[in-house]
Structure 1
Amino acid sequence: MTRPIEALISLANLRHNFAQARDLSPAAKIMAVVKANAYGHGAIHVAGALTPLADAFGVASLEEAVELREAGIASPIVLLSGVFGREQIHEVARYDLATVIHSAEQLQLLLDTPLRRPLDVWLKLDSGMHRLGFQASEFCRAAQRLRAAKQVAKLVFISHLACADQPAQSLNATQLATFRRSLEQLNVRNDEALSLANSAALLTRPDMHFDWVRPGVMLYGVNPLIDREPLAAAPALRPVMTLRSRIISIQTVSAGEGVGYGETWRAAENSRIAVVAAGYGDGYPRHAVNGCPVLINGQLAPLAGRVSMDLLSVDISAIPDATVGDVVTLWGEGLPVETIARYSETIAYELLTGLNQRVKFTYV
């Protein structure tokens, strides 16, 4: 028997969440973002499940795109961070990819590189996030140069939102206005397209949907909004990953005794402590605090003591029927990963992408 920690990936839930994105923006094309190994879920399996549905896939690097191509994924793939050197432009053409251009350096690399066939290019505007993209004063000139370039087939104009997870934030309106103003100066052509909405804007801002929407974390069942309440009336997202393990030992701890490294948890009364085969060596957050919940036999139980490399301890005093071998859900079905993130002072994205090779992945 192998070590019991496992990530169960529901491709049915993935397709359900994609359908919610489609229902929210039926007129737009959908780029399913599968960067960072599909947010830790397995890019090849995720792209394979969504290939009949998605209009394109978004990745962060050439290496991520090549992995999909070599696995037989033939759908359009966009490099969201663009290329990192001249040699990569030839690889983009070789593998029939599209690329973002977000800087003068990338633009010049493309224009200086003869290609056998033109590329689809996504030109990025910095509308206010101040991370990647051309400033508004440079954006129109960059677009005109690309329009005239033999290396370019189709153009999409793109920007990224800094605070879409906070729908009331004033920067959202400012970025939309900057995007619209830059596009008005361009006089966008019929064969050109626009893209602004990420997961959060897809859920909350129909005025930002334009021609392409780019759902990422919502596809994996995570609410992208800082305030979860605005999604109450929206279609329910379903968790795609359920991380689970099993109880491998049960200890009886007397009142006043401590558990784990540093004895950061002490029993207020005689307690039953379950030891679970999961730890930060698997990607479970070491900084999860005492009280962070797990799910055992349909009941929540709190962490008791520090998470160690291979093990964590849980107070099961309130679950008298819990026994060695019982399944322990660490996050996923019945226990949102966002909850674990809050107890760990991090975000769901980090937890999902942080699992490592010790965790077995099972696709259903």
Structure 2
Amino acid sequence: MSRKVRADIHLDAIVHNYRLAKAQAPTTMAAAIVKANAYGHGAVPVARALANDADAFGVACIEEAMELREAGLRQPIILLEGFFDADELPLIAEHGFWPVLHSEHQVRWLEQFSSPARFPVWLKLDTGMHRLGVAPDQVESLVARLRQCEVVSEVLLMTHFARSDEPSLPMTRDQLGCFDRVAAQLGLGASLSNSAAVMAWPEAHRQWLRPGIMLYGATPFGESNPVADQLRAGMTLSSEIIAVREVPAGETVGYGATFSCDRTRRIGTVAMGYGDGYPRHARNGTPVLVEGVRTSLAGRVSMDMLTVDLTDIPQADIGSRVELWGQRLPVSEVAQWCDTIPYTLLTCLTPRVPRVYSD
């Protein structure tokens, strides 16, 4: 490997984070969410690392589910967007996938489908997110219809929170109230908790948790949280310095001349850019670690390279290791400097970056 870009995936940290999620509600089940290639970490290696712990896995679509089945994973796999066409139902029945239903037409397709196999379904209730889910006044009739479907072995209710990462705001409590009013008479198991709710809303834990971003060691919160503070980074993204130069006072660095040197600055060029998935919109001042010392971006990120300020790190030179985020630099902090969220940084990492797995 000549270009020194790499993403070290810390599988032991991901297992730790899953167990931390379960510890918040020890009597519940938890579906490890590994959609979008396990948030960029590699769905199959992550799922295999979790195989002895995970009660189920959650993916977005049947293609992601089949990847896990073909890799030998036997746990239940929840299709979080359900099925997009009735033609998927034979595969769902064959492999025992658990589809999420969010619309009446999916219920109708199930009623028209015949198979000797039976499988659970999760009915998604729209409690205020207004993205997917059936209206509260539809739930009772749809549950009754699902209970009559020959292929449905069990019905579970779920919803998704819009602002559970903002615990001081009332919306999550409002959504909880809506869910409980609908669910009160139905006697069904429930799943409400994404990562933020796992860590901050114990009243939402119910029968199934759905930890996602927390598995990978990133916090969804904008402030400290006692559970999130125990997470371990699942990925360390790093590269090396490939060039060093002295840039005089008054000169600029990079495209657009966005960084101007207030004095002579020692600038290092790093083999990492938006072609690798590092965000182009990272601002001057975005933190990085060089030889374990904190410094920052100096100039605009380009496709294959970015530049950092080495002025106060005299020991840094060509070949010095650069951590872009990871065990010593939280991806959530980097995301704030990029005016985005850690989800986008992790999932947008491109295939050009080798993933290197360790236990």
TM category, shorter: over 0.9
Given candidates 295, 309, 318, the residue that maps to 1:315 is 309
Structure 1 CA distance for aligned equivalents of residues 354 and 181 of structure 2? 49
Deviations 1:220-256 (A, max 9, x none): 0011123x22x14666101000000000110111111
What aligned pairs does 1:88-107 form with structure 2 within 5 A after superposition? 88-107=88-107
Number of positions where the alignment pairs a residue of Structure 1 with one of Structure 2: 358
Which amino acid is the alignment partner of residue 282 of structure 1?
Answer: D
Instruction: Measure how far apart 1:211 and its partner are.
Output: 0.5
- Residue number in structure 2 paired with 1:284: 278
Task: Give percent identity, aligned residues only.
Answer: 46
Contact 1:243–1:330 (8 Å) recurs in 2: yes
Instruction: Measure how far apart 1:332 and its partner are.
Output: 0.8
CA separation of 1:354/1:271 partners in 2, compared to 1, >3 Å: closer, same or farther? same
Whether 1:196 and 2:198 are equivalent positions in the alignment is no
| TM-score (norm. length: structure 2) | 0.98
Given candidates 212, 215, 218, the residue that maps to 2:211 is 215
Contact 2:237–2:323 (8 Å) recurs in 1: yes
- Coordinate RMSD, CA, aligned: 1.1
Instruction: Measure how far apart 1:299 and its partner are.
Output: 1.1
Which amino acid is the alignment partner of residue 101 of structure 2?
Answer: I
Structure 2 gap segments, 5+ residues each? none
Instruction: Measure how far apart 1:185 and its partner are.
Output: 3.0
Secondary structure of the residue aligned to 1:88 is helix
Whether 1:328 and 2:295 are equivalent positions in the alignment is no
What aligned pairs does 1:1-364 form with structure 2 within 5 A after superposition? 1-186=1-186, 188=187, 192-226=188-222, 228-229=223-224, 231-232=225-226, 236-364=230-358
| TM-score (norm. length: structure 1) | 0.96
Deviations 1:169-193 (A, max 9, x none): 211111111111111132x1xxx42
Structure 2 CA distance for aligned equivalents of residues 127 and 18 of structure 1? 27
Deviations 1:275-325 (A, max 9, x none): 000000000000001111110122111111110000000010010100110
Deviations 1:247-282 (A, max 9, x none): 011011111111111211111111110000000000
Structure 2 CA distance for aligned equivalents of residues 194 and 71 of structure 1? 29
Structure 2 CA distance for aligned equivalents of residues 308 and 171 of structure 1? 40
Contact 2:192–2:204 (8 Å) recurs in 1: yes
Contact 2:332–2:341 (8 Å) recurs in 1: yes
Contact 2:21–2:198 (8 Å) recurs in 1: yes
Which amino acid is the alignment partner of residue 223 of structure 1?
Answer: T
Which amino acid is the alignment partner of residue 252 of structure 1?
Answer: E
Stretches of 4+ aligned residues off by more than 3 angstroms: 232-235
Deviations 1:93-125 (A, max 9, x none): 122211001101111111111122112100111
Secondary structure of the residue aligned to 1:273 is strand
Structure 2 CA distance for aligned equivalents of residues 343 and 319 of structure 1? 22
Structure 1 CA distance for aligned equivalents of residues 156 and 22 of structure 2? 20
Deviations 1:109-155 (A, max 9, x none): 11111122112100111111111111000011101111111110122
Contact 2:161–2:194 (8 Å) recurs in 1: yes
